[in-house]
Amino acid sequence: MYKILAILALIVPLSAVAQTTQEKGLDIAKQQDTKNSGFKDYTNDIVMTLRNAQGQETVDYLHSLTLEVTAAGEGDKSKLVFDKPADVKGTAMLTYSHGLQPDDQWLFLPAVKRVKRLNSNNKSGPFMGSEFAYEDLSSPVVEKFSYNWLRDEACGEWQCYVVERTPKYADSGYVRQVTWIDTKELRTVKIDYYDRKNELLKTLSQSGFKLYKGKFWRAETGKMVNHITGKSTVMVSSNFVFGAGLTPAEFEPNSLQDTH
C-alpha cells in the first residue's frame, strides 16, 4: 500500500511536468470553453466604428442574438442584424458555426424579403468593410485550432497565458494567431493575427470586461488595428441580456423575415 502511494506520489507530479506545451495550450482552450458554457443565449447591441489611416470614421449599428449549441465540436448559432446606416437597415446574417466543417450562412435582404444562402468559404473577407474578418467573429470552437502554450507573462495588471493557435479549418486568412488569456478568469485580452506570409497583420485588444450571471465575462470594447494599412475598427458591445429565452425556431433561416 505504501509502495503504491509512493509510486503515485512520484507519477502524479511527473505527469504534470510531462504535459507538453501543446497539451497545455489545448487545456487552456478547453478550460476557457468550459467556463463559457451554459449561457444558453444572449442578446447585445454593437456599435462598430471604422477608422481609416486618415482618421475618417464610419459608424455602423447592429444588434446580435446568440443561441448556445451544446453538442461537442459544434459552434453556436448567431444572428446579426444591421440597424444603421439606413440603407442596410434590416439586413441580417444568420450563422451556424461548426468546428472543422464550414459554417452555414444565410443573408436576409429586406428590400426583396429574400433569404439567400451564402457561400461559407469567405472566412478571410472583411465584415462590412471593417478590420474584422468573418472568421474573427465566428463563435469559438476548441476544435477549430491546434494550440501551443508559449509562456506566461504579465498583461497589464493581470497575468496571462500566451498561447499560439493555428487554424485547422480551410480557407483561413491566417497562418497563426497568438492569444493572451488571463490566468485567473480566462478572458482573452489580446490576439495577434499573422497572415499567410507569417507577418503580423492585425492586433485585437479587448477591454472593459464585465461579468454576467456571475459566470460569463464579456468585453465591452474590442479594438482591431491593422498594422499594414493603419486602419482600425472599434467594436463596442452593450446591453448584454443573458437568458433572453431565445428559441431554436428563432434561428431557422425562415425566421429571418421577422428580423427588425
Partner 1 sequence: MSINTNKNLKLKIGVLLCAILNTAAAQAGEWSTEVDLDYRYFRKPAATIPTTGSTPAQIAASFYQFLLSQGLSPYNVVTIPQAVLAVSASQATAVSGQGNNEPSVVVQPSYFNEWAGKTNSFSFKPFFRWDNMDDKRTHADIREMVWVSKHGTADKPWELRIGIDKVFWGAAESQHLVDVINQTDDVENINRESKLGQPMVRATISRNWGTLDMFVLPWFRERTYAGVDGRLRPLVSLATLPVAFQSSDAQSHVDYALRWSKSFSDVDVGISQFVGTDRDPRVATANQYITTANPAGLYLSYDQMSQTSVDMTAVRGSWIYKLEALHRDTNYDHYWAGVTGVEYAFNGVFHTPYDVSTFLEYNYDSRGQGQAVYQSDVFVGGLLNLNDDKSTQIKLGVLVDTNDSTRSTRLQFSRRLTDNWSARLEGQWFNSVDSGNPLNAYREDSYLQGSLIRYF
Residue from 104, 175, 217, 242 in contact with partner 1 (CB under 8 A): 104
If one asks whether residue 54 binds partner 1 (CB under 8 A), the answer comes out as: no
Q: What angle do CA 32, 34, 38 make, to 5 degrees?
A: 125
If one asks whether residue 55 binds partner 1 (CB under 8 A), the answer comes out as: no
Distance of CA 190 to the CA centre of its chain: 12
Kindly state the smallest distance separating residue 129's Cβ from partner 1, in Å: 4
Q: Considering only residues 175 through 234, tell me which ones interact with partner 1, judged by CB under 8 A.
A: none
Phi and psi based region of residue 100 (left: phi greater than 0; alpha: psi -120 to 50; beta: remaining): alpha
Q: How many of the chain's residues bind partner 1 (CB under 8 A)?
A: 42
Kindly state the smallest distance separating residue 241's Cβ from partner 1, in Å: 12
If one asks whether residue 99 binds partner 1 (CB under 8 A), the answer comes out as: no
Q: Considering only residues 163 through 182, tell me which ones interact with partner 1, judged by CB under 8 A.
A: 171, 173
Residue from 30, 84, 168, 215 in contact with partner 1 (CB under 8 A): 84
Output the DSSP codes for 16-69. HHH--HHHHHHHHHHHHHHHHTT--EEEEEEEEEEE-TT--EEEEEEEEEEE--
First to last CA, the chain: 68
Kindly state the smallest distance separating residue 121's Cβ from partner 1, in Å: 5
If one asks whether residue 89 binds partner 1 (CB under 8 A), the answer comes out as: yes
If one asks whether residue 69 binds partner 1 (CB under 8 A), the answer comes out as: no
Residue from 3, 151, 184, 260 in contact with partner 1 (CB under 8 A): 260
Kindly state the smallest distance separating residue 220's Cβ from partner 1, in Å: 23
If one asks whether residue 129 binds partner 1 (CB under 8 A), the answer comes out as: yes
Neighbours of 214 (CB within 10 A): 5
If one asks whether residue 148 binds partner 1 (CB under 8 A), the answer comes out as: no
Own/partner long-range contacts of 219-226 (Cβ < 8 Å, ≥24 apart)? 219/187, 219/188, 224/130, 224/131, 224/132, 224/136, 225/131, 226/131, 226/201, 226/202
Residue from 113, 168, 213, 215 in contact with partner 1 (CB under 8 A): 113
Residue from 115, 150, 175, 225 in contact with partner 1 (CB under 8 A): 115
If one asks whether residue 68 binds partner 1 (CB under 8 A), the answer comes out as: no
CA dihedral 51, 164, 135, 146 (to 10 degrees): 180
| Pairing mode, strands 92-98 and 74-84 | antiparallel
Binding site for partner 1 (CB under 8 A): 50, 52, 58-59, 84-89, 96, 101-102, 104, 106, 112-115, 117, 119-122, 124-126, 128-130, 171, 173, 245, 247-249, 252-255, 258, 260
